[in-house]
Amino acid sequence: MTAEEKAVENANESAVVEAPAVETAVTKAPGRKLSAEELIRSFEEGQLKSDLPEIYVGDTVKVGVRIREGTKERVQPYEGVVIAKRHGGMHETITVRRIFQGIGVERVFMLHSPQVASINVERRGKVRRAKLFYLRDRVGKATRVKQRFDR
């Protein structure tokens, strides 16, 4: 057998991947081959965070972001108004806007990412839109969002 034939044979053998015996509702018997969709779904179920608060557009939130500097790791707070929510499940994101040194800064956070250490809702906002992109054009006190007391 030539080196090329061995490489092709090894590639064919490794193409079929057996899923590890993960205890979820998807697996029926250990060692059973899972389809790609089932494998991805079972992996994503294990990655979802369960301690997230109810976040709505217009809320002022404080997001604790994990920052690595060399070998040290710290949590840095990022506080601002949620101007958009997108997607759902594992891929759910929020866009948080704040004013830093007179300049508007927006960051998009994946809620279930390991980089997000914590999310605290500081105050609820009373808004009538799903996306608050109009806040980008406003300056000063016009960027304030009314507070909501019923949630």
Structural domains in the chain, CATH included, are 3-47 (no CATH), 60-143 (2.30.30.790)
CA–chain centroid gap for 29, Å, is 31
Report the DSSP beta bridge partners of residue 108: 95
Cα dihedral across residues 3, 4, 5, 11: positive or negative: positive
Listed residue (69, 92, 95, 71) closest to 84, CA to CA? 95
Listed residue (88, 101, 96) closest to 116, CA to CA? 96
One pLDDT digit (tens) per residue for the chain, 151 residues: 566 565 556 555 554 445 455 455 554 556 788 899 999 999 999 999 999 999 999 999 999 999 999 999 999 999 999 999 999 999 999 999 999 999 999 999 999 999 999 999 999 999 999 999 999 999 999 999 999 998 7
